[in-house]
Amino acid sequence: MEAVRLEEAGGLMEWTGQVYADAPTVAAEEWIGASTETVWALVSDIQLMPELSTELQEVGWLDGHEGPCVGARLRGRSSHPSLGDWETVSTIVECAAPFCFAWAVGDPAHPSSLWRFTLRPERGGTILRQSGQLGPAPSGLSFAITAMPEKEQKIVFVRLREFETGIKANLSAIKKRAEQTGRQEK
């Protein structure tokens, strides 16, 4: 069950008063006028993600991997005005082409965040859903929470809103690229 829901009408995240230990999640989805295979090629291309993200600056495969598969690891370099610059190592925890692609940041069994794309064919196109989960392991956000424990719920809510904004921007950009690619393939 997702801890944070999006309202149907405006897509705005509801206040739930969650704390970091709840491992709250935010998600959004978009219908894309392209095949799941076309959309899959985009969401599983880790080199595309820095182009879409305001935080993720650079990403690369580790351990000689050249593409996504369960257990493959990647290093990411990110930047945020309030959190600074940091590097992470993520592990692909789900990779079922062309339906699911997910990675855990940090320890796959106890990640500091978990990101997932799910794809399903619908109405001659693809429903693409992206979700992001905070925690349960500590992250850069944990420093702010430790410094201001009385503001934990607000800190978590603001970060989830940032996730939501990024997810919606990702979905929109992927939709545009996939539909352009789909038109070119016809």
Residue type, 69: C
The predicted-structure confidence for 118-134, as pLDDT tens digits, reads as follows: 999 999 999 999 999 99
The predicted-structure confidence for 159-180, as pLDDT tens digits, reads as follows: 999 999 999 999 999 999 999 9
The predicted-structure confidence for 74-119, as pLDDT tens digits, reads as follows: 999 999 898 889 999 999 999 999 999 999 999 999 999 999 999 9
How far are the Cα atoms of 9, 101, 133, 162 from residue 158, in angstroms, in the given order?
20, 26, 13, 6
**pLDDT value at residue 161:** 92
* Closest-CA residue to 90 (of 101, 100, 98): 101
* Closest-CA residue to 119 (of 26, 8, 35): 35
d(CA 76, CA 78): 6
Residues 174 and 36 sit within 8 Å (Cβ to Cβ): no
**pLDDT value at residue 15:** 82
d(CA 21, CA 94): 23
Model confidence, pTM? 0.88
